[in-house]
Structures are given as C-alpha cells and as structure tokens.
Amino acid sequence: MADMDATEFPLLDLPLPSRREMERAFLHGDASYDGVFYTGVRTTGIFCRPSCSAKKPRIENIEFFGTVKEVLFAGYRACLKCRPLEGGDDHPSWLAALMARIDSDPGVRIREADLKAMGLDPARVRRYFATRYGLTFQADCRARRLAQALDSIKHGGTVDDAVFDAGYASHSGFRDAFAKAFGATPGDATQSGVVHLGWIDTPLGPMIAGASDAGVVLLEFTDRRMLEAQLATVRRRFGAGLVLSDHPHLTQLRTELAAYFTGTLATFTVPVVAPGTPFEERVWAELLKIPYGETRSYEDVAVALDNRAAVRAVGRANGLNRIAIVIPCHRVVNKSGELGGYGGGLWRKRRLLHLERGHM
C-alpha cells in the first residue's frame, strides 16, 4: 500500500470492495464494513449501513455506494432504523484496537503487512478512513509522526532526534515530508502548526471539524462537494498539517453544537479563526452579526459593507465560508425570500432556519 501525503484527498479514487464481498457483508450485517460502503434499496428508495438490522431485501434490488454524497445524489433517503447519516459511537470493532496501537506509539510505522498480521484488510482500512475523514490511514499515520516531530522541535529537540523518532531513514526524506505537511522546513518549525480534525455527529448528518490552538478553523458537512478543497485551503492558509486527534476547541464545539440542535444555545462562544481575503473576512464578520432566528438578503449584507454592487461577491464569499453554522451563512437568503444556495444542501438550510425560528 503506497504512502500518501496527508494533504491528498483520494476518496473518489478508492475502489469499493468487490460486489460479492459487499453482498456478503450486507447479508450478514457485518458492522466492520460500516463507513466503507452504503446500500441503496431500489424498491423502497432507502439507503442503509451494511450492519442494518432491518429485513434484508432481495440482493438484486440492492446497489452499492462508496459515500453518503453519492447515495444522496442518487435520490435515496436515509433509513430510520440504522440512521446512516449519524455516525454515533458504533465504530467498527477493529478500529479501537488499531487506534490503541497507534496511540501507544505515534511514531510507529504500520504497513500493509502489519495490518494483515492484525487480521485487517488494508483496502477496508484505507477506505474507511477516506470515507469518514477525507484522508487515508497511511496519511493520518504520517501526519501523526510529523506532528510528533514538530512538537519535539518546538520544545527544543534537535532535528536529528526528530528524524529518528519519526522513523525516517534520511534527513532529506524527513525534510521533504515535513515541508509537504507543514509548508515549512524543519528549521522553520516554530512557525508551523497542526490542525486537529474530528468527526461530529449532528441531526443533519456528520460533519468534519478542524481546530488549531487559536480556535475552530473548519466545520463542514462530510458530503459537501467542496470539502476536499476546503481541507486543502485550511492547510494552505494555516501552513499546518492535518491530524486526526482531539482538541479542547473541538470538545467545546461538540458541546455547543449539541445545545444548538436542542434549541438551548443561540450564540456560539467557541473561538473561530477564519482567514481569507480582506473582503471575505468582512463578509464573514457581517454574517456573525445576523441574529439567531433572523435572515438577511445578499443585498442587505452588501449594503452593510457599503458596497451595494457587491451582491454577487457577497454570495461567493458566503459560499466559501469554511465554518458552517457557527458562522451562520445559512441565514443569508435571496431578496425575494427564497433560500438561495447552500453548500450543505438546501434541505439543511431550510431545517436550520426552521430550528432557529422554532426556538426564538
């Protein structure tokens, strides 16, 4: 299994397991395939996880999809029994043992042969990570090793020690990998950073969140078409590597989002960091001024910025917002009152506005 850089997002390039393998997993309710593929039932228009306990349909009425985005675009609705849009805590059983091994020694290199020795199919592991987090298992492992090296250098460690501890055989290999991940050489490591990525389940589907030490830098629905571009933008804007790990800002964000969706929180207090062009930053700052339960038109925002002619530019900046819900781009609608666009899907925008209006 070839290593891939943590800034690559090869989700669409990863092949599904064979149909025979997916049929077997589905018919046996194999939860270890949850997140690897989804099943759409043509006769009902419903899609499920592989582990769904509902009565199994005839196999010829099943089609398979690699991502939530694909199955939703095909017109299927989420099953109310297995709730495939909600990640929950039912991670495949093999994941806990794998992550425990990584956490016990972040510098360890786990290759394809090691996965097989643990009884794991490398292709299944690769696709699970890509589907759930937008980067491969190997990319995450590499990012963890480099993040450990970065922390060591920032706290006075030598580059020589970092090279050894990260498992690199040469300074040049370490330097190249470090530069790709953090946009800086090891010698400039004190200027580099890490963005911690995490998965957050919401009533409107799973989201990917990112946080630096300064605050939340990303919150996107995982089926958004622009997700891969947004992840790349985060890396570029912050000169940071992307690592799957928890962070206090992510913990606070999860707590506040849960309260928001139950209607008990109207104003987020988690710090956010959203660098962009000067105009984009002005638009996003204006979005934060829109009160809970209210909306503004794109023209209203342009007028607030003293540039009535900038309606299209406001719409574009609104669409490039990387921190959904917290920076409430869903509160901007057309002048006519119609919803307009929304990167997470108009059905989500409609439900977010309904939620807020119902708890004013």
Calculate the alpha carbon distances from 303 to 137, 288, 328 in Å: 47, 16, 18
Q: Which two tokens stand for residue 304?
A: 């607030």
Q: What is the DSSP letter of 292?
A: T
Give yes or no: 329 in active site.
yes
Long-range contacts of 93-96 (CB under 8 A, 24+ apart): 93/31, 93/32, 94/32, 94/118, 94/119, 94/120, 94/125, 95/128
- Whether the CB-CB separation of 326 and 219 falls below 8 Å is answered with yes
For residue 351, the tally of other CB atoms under 10 A from its CB is: 16
Rounded to 5°, the CA angle 64-65-71 comes to 115
DSSP letter for each residue of 311-331: HHHHHHHHHT-SBTTTS-GGG
* Catalytic-labelled residue, pool 79, 82, 141, 329: 329
Which residues are known catalytic residues?
A: 329
